[in-house]
Amino acid sequence: MKKIFSIVGIVSILMSWPAQILAAPANHIVISEVQTGSATDASWEFVELYNPTSAVIVLDDWTLEYASSAATTWTKKATIMGSIPAFGYYLISTAGYALGNGTMSAGLASTGGHVRIKNANSTVIDLVGWGTASRAEVAPAAAAPAGGSIERAPGRLSSLAGNGEDSDNNLNDFVVRDMAEPQRISSEVENPSLVPVEVPEPELIDDTPVISPIYLPIYITEAFPDPASPLTDAKDEFIELYNPNDIPVNLKGYSIRIGANFRSYYTIGDVTISPGAYTSFYPVSTKLGLTNSGGAVQLVDPLGNVLDVTDSYTAAKTGQAWADINGLWMWTMEPTPGAMNVLLEPAPKLAVTTATSTAPKSTTKKTAAKKTPKTKAAVKKITKAAVKKSKSKVPKTSIAATTSTITEPSPLARWLLIASGCFTIMYAIYGFRHDLYNYYIKTRRNITTWIQDRPTMPWRRDH
């Protein structure tokens, strides 16, 4: 009998094993996002809470506590008051944000630490560790960069699906965001039922086939990772999409993904793109930040299928866009958000020789080209590419070779030479002043004597 119960127990465990591995929506308040510092101020921190249940939950006298990565004691950061709506958010932030529903003291370490929330009865409701945290749930989530955050799933699949999944493994439940997105009580509620699900194979219902939805292809055509001053990354970076189809396409549910393993994402809302048209997305709405050190961009349809991915770039060139020009990814000095891509290359530097020569002509090419679509069903292949050429002629320059050169003195040297000459003359006068004076007296006497003796001179003729 004991053996039978043992077998039944083993079977029960094996049957429940997948449910323990797969994340499921929690039935309690969870910590949904954490930021340990902004890109400009390390004291700008927040902890976001999410209510994955269908009922309003009162948070009066709940507390937020923090422990460093290796600490054994917890420090209270905030006392929480108020309530959190069903499928809604509650934000606890430092004074710098001035956006939170509650205020916390700063001091979250970016390299590793823990935060937890306790209810009014001092029961721990949720705990999250990141980086080098030693007391996380199973394994800590990755540490986020300055200005970024760690965010709980399933938000990484749909930005409107809430953040309620809790497998009790921080590493599995959280993803790194390059740009934080704090949400509060006034933010839109998010129901986890909006999470995209796998569509089953077509089946027959009353002899009528049920067809899975088909999402038309959209392509990524341009990315602008490093705008030149006075433009800024936060406002002027963009990612451009192109519709190669003959009909308008609504992009709701499509997602743009960037970062390591494309873990940072933005799910597009109700945006329609016309046939053969372009549209661009900026950080003010996507909360995505393209890295200057290198990366790529991926586009995914609502079913999770990868529609397009850019070639990877290494180091971004300031003021230049990473663009698809006739099917090849390259840098261009002329970003064109929402318009056809244009190739503008830097003009080559002119070389000057010492012999009579003609400077080579420099040619600046501009090539306007649409995205070359890939061959797919319901997609029209685009073969036209407009090419514009603009040549700027460099006038011929002749330089005569000479065997000798005369160096013209500078104005300063000329004045120093004049001053030196004047000083020499004055010094000579001063040194021979007595001789000059005696010569002057002697000459004056001779002139006087000559004038007095003049009437008696025999050769003088009287008129």
> Which position has the higher pLDDT, 430 or 184?
184
Structure tokens at 327: 């099917």
Work out the angle at residue 127's Cα, subtended by the Cα atoms of residues 83 and 192, and round it to the nearest 5 degrees: 60
Q: What is the pLDDT of residue 50?
A: 95
Query: Which ranges in 1-71 belong to alpha helices (H)?
Result: 2-21
Q: Note the pLDDT of residue 209.
A: 57
Q: What pLDDT, on a 0 to 100 scale, did the predictor assign at position 262?
A: 85
pLDDT at 439: 75
Joined tokens for residue 226: 């490093």
pLDDT score for 177: 87
Q: How far apart are the first and last CA of the chain?
A: 175
- pLDDT confidence of residue 383: 36
Lookup result for tokens 């370490």: 109
What does the pLDDT read at residue 432?
Answer: 76
Kindly give the interhelix angle for 411-431 and 433-453, rounded to the nearest 10 degrees. Answer: 70
Residue 193: the pLDDT is: 65
Apex CA 329: angle with CA 324 and CA 333, to 5°?
A: 75
- pLDDT bin (cut points 50, 70, 90) of residue 158 is low
Sole residue written with tokens 């649409």:
370
CA–CA distance, 131 with 143 (Å, rounded to integer)? 4
Taking 60 as the threshold, does the pLDDT of residue 368 lie above it? no
Residue 300: strand pairing partners: 255, 306
Q: What is the mean pLDDT of residues 237-251?
A: 95
Q: Which helix (H) or strand (E) holds 286?
A: helix 283-286
- The pLDDT value recorded for residue 202 is 53
Mean pLDDT of 264-290: 92
Tens digit of each residue's pLDDT (9 = 90 or more) over 410-453:
777 778 888 878 888 887 777 777 777 777 777 777 777 666 66
pLDDT of residue 452: 66
Q: Give the pLDDT score at 353.
A: 47
pLDDT in the model for residue 22: 40
Say if residues 202 and 210 touch (Cβ distance below 8 Å). Answer: yes
Average pLDDT, integer, range 120-136: 94
pLDDT of 165 > 80? The answer is yes
The predicted structure's pLDDT at residue 24 = 61
pTM of the model: 0.45
Whether the pLDDT of residue 277 is over 90: the answer is yes
Overall average pLDDT of the 152-181 stretch: 83
Do the Cβ atoms of 218 and 254 come closer than 8 Å? yes
Over residues 70-88, the mean pLDDT reads 93
Q: What is the pLDDT of residue 46?
A: 95
Is it the case that residue 72 has pLDDT exceeding 90?
no
d(CA 166, CA 54): 16
Q: What is the pLDDT of residue 212?
A: 58
Say if residue 224 is exposed, middle or buried (CB neighbours under 10 Å; 0-12, 13-18, 19+): buried
Taking the CB of residue 71, how many other CB atoms lie within 10 A of it?
15
User: So what's the pLDDT on residue 60?
Assistant: 95
User: In the prediction, which pLDDT does 456 show?
Assistant: 53
Q: Which amino acid is at 49?
A: L
Mean pLDDT of the region 272-285: 94
Residue 70 pLDDT greater than 70, yes or no: yes
Q: Is the pLDDT reported for residue 115 higher than 60?
A: yes
CA-nearest of 1, 16, 48, 46 to 29 is 48
Residue-range domains of the chain with CATH: 19-194 (2.60.40.1260), 219-348+363-386 (2.60.40)
CA distance 97 to 46: 8
238, 224 Cβ separation under 8 angstroms: yes
Top-confidence residue, 97 or 334: 334
Nearest one of 105, 137, 140, 143 to 124, comparing CA atoms:
137
Q: What is the phi/psi pair of residue 287, to 5°?
A: 60, 25
Residue 428, token pair as written in the block: 């000579």
Band of residue 399 on the pLDDT scale cut at 50, 70, 90: very low
Taking residues 233-243, report their average pLDDT.
95
Cross-strand pairs, 256 = 266, 299
Model pLDDT for residues 317-341, shown as the tens digit of each residue = 999 999 999 889 999 999 999 999 9
